[in-house]
Structure 1
Amino acid sequence: MCFSSLITFLNLLSFSFTEQYKVVGPADSVFAVAGEDVILPCSVKPSISVVDMRVEWHRLDQKYLLVHLFDDHEDRNTEQIQSYRGRTKLNHQELQRGNASLKLSSVRVSDEGLYKCFIQSKSWNDDTTVNVKVEAVGRPPVITVDGFDHSGGLHLQCESEGWYPEPDLEWLDSAGVSLSSETTETHRNTEGFNVKHTITVHHSDKIHCRVKLRHHMLEALIISSSNMFNSWRTSVIVIVVLSVIAGILIAVFAHKNRGKILVFLLFYIFYVNKAV
């Protein structure tokens, strides 16, 4: 065999060897829940030990910063991103089976993003990308009563904090029929999204406030009893009666004390407005 033929044969052999191994990851995004642990899949197919290879995990959406490094048979994380210190781990026994999946502990909202798993041997290298989606389940919703309007409608407010991404909030009656929110507020901080919706009801019923995020749901219930609306009607009647009495007294006083009518008129206006 001539020298050029030998070179061609070795190149083909090297090409064949390189092509038969591939680094693979998950076909879909990996979903993680804040506060829990998650596995970022990465392995060599067909299976081959990567104990003697270099395994790198990087954040692609953060200037290629190092998340975890395994090289020369040990973890080398001196240049690891500070926020990942003590939260990443490779299973060294699984490395013998070609499994370089990364365990990420105590997931945070900031962990969401694109990760690159890179494996390199002396003769070949390959990589795969893992897209991590983080969900944070917020606090249970709280319903508060915010008084009545002029028509006797009961104002209800529902609020829930600490969700990620932004959740859906809906009101439901006792039959499960969705009720339209009158006002909606959404705010985001370092912990996630805070949502607040208001609604007005005009009759007694069981009212549910439900907050949903993919497979997570939290719910609160309030019963708007007839006593609430009766108390409002009673209050309105009392205010009307007091207003009539005050009007009569002012009229009598005005008839007897015309010079002081202005003072009592101002008092009457202030009293009625305050009562309403």
Structure 2
Amino acid sequence: FAVWVKVLTLGIFEVISSLAVTGIVGQDVVLPCQISTRTQPDNMEVQWKKIIQTAIETVYEYRAWTGQDVPGQKYQGRTVLLKDGFTSGNVSLKLKNVQPADGGTYSCIVRSNAWSADAATELQIADSSAVLSR
């Protein structure tokens, strides 16, 4: 069960995400992000950023016009944009092999020629042994 919230609306498009998701150490987690259009915006760019107290860290960037995928330096080989969902507006990011340091606030930013919007979600980390003992 996910609670979806609208974080920012510009023009007729919205970007929505869940308030929080839980990742288990050593497993994969999907950071959800959905745009409210059924067609891929012109020259769409998707950015995922981690918001840290002292900085903003690039997790992943995708540019549709070049098809270029650019993982952040600390996330090489650990991120996959779920492009099969583009036709339904799904721009969620899979983060592989979750680590305790991955916990925090992530921002999904979607830009095109005509608009830009973003949404944030909190990744909470659970240890696999703690989950199994419940």
Q: Once the two structures are aligned, what percentage of the paired residues are identical?
A: 26
Of the candidates 56, 59, 83, which is equivalent to residue 64 of structure 1? Answer: 56
Displaced runs of 4 or more, over 4 A: none
Does 2:100 correspond to 1:217?
A: no
Structure 1 residues 98-177: aligned runs within 5 Å: 98-138=89-129
Distance 1:29 1:44 in 2: 17
Matched letter for residue 81 of structure 1 = Q
Q: What is the SS of the residue equivalent to 1:96?
A: helix
Structure 2 stretches lacking a partner, 5+ long: 1-9
Distance 1:64 1:131 in 2: 14
Distance 1:45 1:216 in 2: 37
Distance 2:34 2:115 in 1: 15
Greater radius of gyration (CA): 1
Q: Is the contact between residue 50 and residue 98 of structure 1 (CA under 8 Å) also seen in structure 2?
A: no
Q: Please report how far the alpha carbon of residue 101 of structure 1 lies from its aligned counterpart in structure 2 after TM superposition.
A: 0.1
**1:146-166 alpha-carbon deviations (Å, 9 max, x no partner):** xxxxxxxxxxxxxxxxxxxxx
Q: Please report how far the alpha carbon of residue 98 of structure 1 lies from its aligned counterpart in structure 2 after TM superposition.
A: 1.4
Structure 1 residues 243-254: aligned runs within 5 Å: none
Q: What is the SS of the residue equivalent to 2:114?
A: coil
Does 2:40 correspond to 1:49?
A: yes
- Compare the two structures and name the one with the higher strand fraction: 2
Matched letter for residue 128 of structure 1 = A
Distance 2:47 2:57 in 1: 10
Q: Please report how far the alpha carbon of residue 51 of structure 1 lies from its aligned counterpart in structure 2 after TM superposition.
A: 7.0
Q: Is the contact between residue 65 and residue 81 of structure 1 (CA under 8 Å) also seen in structure 2?
A: no
Cα distance, 1:51–1:137 mapped onto 2, change above 3 Å: farther
Q: Is the contact between residue 34 and residue 106 of structure 1 (CA under 8 Å) also seen in structure 2?
A: yes
> Which residue is equivalent to 1:74?
67
- Compare the two structures and name the one with the higher helix fraction: 1
**RMSD of aligned residue pairs (Cα, Å):** 2.0
Q: Which has the higher contact order (CA 8 A, sep 6+)?
A: 2
